[in-house]
Amino acid sequence: MESSDAIKLLESSSPHQRLRGARHFSRTSLPDLLPKLKSFLQKERVSHVRAALELAIKRNSRSNTPEDPKSTDENQIDEDEGIVATKQEADKWAGIILHEIEPKVGLIRVSAQQEISDFENSETKRYLESLDMVLSGFSDLRRSIATPKADELDLAELIKEISQQECKEGTDVSLSGQKPFIIKGDINLLHMAISNGIRNAVEAVQENTDEKRVIVSWSKTDVEYSVSILDNGPGICDGKSSFFEVGNSSKKKHGGFGLAIVKHALENLDGRTSLATAKDGGAKLELRWRLQV
């Protein structure tokens, strides 16, 4: 396909055609077209087309283009496209599930309230609340793969507010870091990642019979910001990275969305996450993402 044909596809009213056009430019190295690609991205409203355009812009922004186009770093292309495909699938299936199931759950709730005399104390209500939690997880998962914005915010204040919201009685949540701590980043994605991380830690220490302690710290280097969430709970099993996958949780009655949401939100901020057993026991979750200037 010629680049001129791909441009025409990006001007199409069909999301499918625009996706084809965006995918063409994810395999090219045409820096002169960057302004045009960024213009298409600003107007695009379909999430998976946006993801493909973001990949195209990333590929065409690289200055170290190989002399032979055929010898392009195919492994990097495959990796980038794999991330885009994962985001597309997550967004598609989460959207389908929410669209199809959410209204029906509402109807079931209304009918159950009318037909069950003691609905408030019924097993039906508890099962519906569990289902609500799963649907809420899918909704948060979709938001975690949204295109990030660049807001100016006080990270220290954001962490303080989240800690107050997530803290449970009898749990000591300590904060350590510079105040104020003004950064640029997407406040919604950061709120989602940090709140799920702190909530996970607070829930972990509830198993303790004595001291329940969570320590949240933040800092930055020349290239990245970091937030560390340390708890004195039971720790993790074998440091499994699968905890970041949807549906995986070490806790009973949990949908397994929390750490998956953290992971997706950080990836969208060009960041990464890690979870490990802490030196003195418990678990340590680290969030790191690139500085925005």
Q: What are 232-271's pLDDT values in tens digits?
A: 988 876 545 555 554 445 554 444 567 888 888 888 787 8
Q: Print burial letters for 219-236: b (CB count within 10 Å at least 16), e (below 16).
A: eeeeeebebbbbbbbebb
Residue 27: exposed, middle, or buried by beta-carbon count in 10 A (0-12, 13-18, 19+)?
A: middle
> Residue 234, preceding bond cis, omega within 30 degrees?
no
The band of 183, judged by pLDDT with boundaries at 50, 70 and 90, is very high
- Predicted local confidence at residue 96, as pLDDT: 66
How far apart (Å, rounded) are the C-alpha atoms in residues 203 and 242?
A: 19
The band of 63, judged by pLDDT with boundaries at 50, 70 and 90, is very low
Task: Count each helix (H run) and each strand (E run) in the chain, helices first.
Answer: 9, 7
User: Which DSSP state fits 147?
Assistant: P
- Predicted local confidence at residue 249, as pLDDT: 52
Q: Which of 18, 89, 44, 78 is nearest to 264 (CA)?
A: 89
Q: Where are the alpha helices (DSSP H) in 122-178?
A: 123-144, 155-166
- Predicted local confidence at residue 71, as pLDDT: 44
The band of 87, judged by pLDDT with boundaries at 50, 70 and 90, is low
- Predicted local confidence at residue 180, as pLDDT: 96
- Predicted local confidence at residue 178, as pLDDT: 96
Retrieve residue 274's tokens: 């890690």
- Predicted local confidence at residue 227, as pLDDT: 97
Share of the chain above pLDDT 70, in %: 75
- Predicted local confidence at residue 91, as pLDDT: 63
Residue-wise pLDDT tens digits, 68-82: 444 444 454 454 555
Segment 135-163 shows an average pLDDT of: 80
Task: Report helix angle 47-61 to 15-25, nearest 10.
Answer: 20
- Predicted local confidence at residue 284, as pLDDT: 93
Higher local confidence (pLDDT), 243 or 104: 104
Segment 145-155 shows an average pLDDT of: 80
Q: Which residue type, as a one-letter code, is found at position 11?
A: E
Asked whether residue 83 carries a pLDDT value surpassing 80, the answer given is: no
- Predicted local confidence at residue 261, as pLDDT: 84
- The residue assigned the tokens 């104390």 is 121
How far apart (Å, rounded) are the C-alpha atoms in residues 259 and 272?
A: 12
Report the SS3 class of residue 74.
Answer: helix
Residue-wise pLDDT tens digits, 189-218: 898 899 999 999 999 898 877 889 999 999
Report the SS3 class of residue 107.
Answer: helix
Longest dimension (CA), the chain: 75
Asked whether residue 46 carries a pLDDT value surpassing 80, the answer given is: no
How far apart (Å, rounded) are the C-alpha atoms in residues 279 and 282?
A: 8
Retrieve residue 89's tokens: 């699938």
How far apart (Å, rounded) are the C-alpha atoms in residues 118 and 96?
A: 33
- Predicted local confidence at residue 69, as pLDDT: 45
Asked whether residue 66 carries a pLDDT value surpassing 50, the answer given is: no
Higher local confidence (pLDDT), 102 or 200: 200
Residue-wise pLDDT tens digits, 18-41: 888 888 887 777 888 888 898 898
How far apart (Å, rounded) are the C-alpha atoms in residues 197 and 70?
A: 43
Per the CB < 8 A criterion, the answer to whether 153 and 183 are in contact is yes
Is the pTM here over 0.85, yes or no? no
Of 42-51, 148-157, 169-178, 239-248, where does mean pLDDT reach its minimum?
239-248
- Predicted local confidence at residue 80, as pLDDT: 52
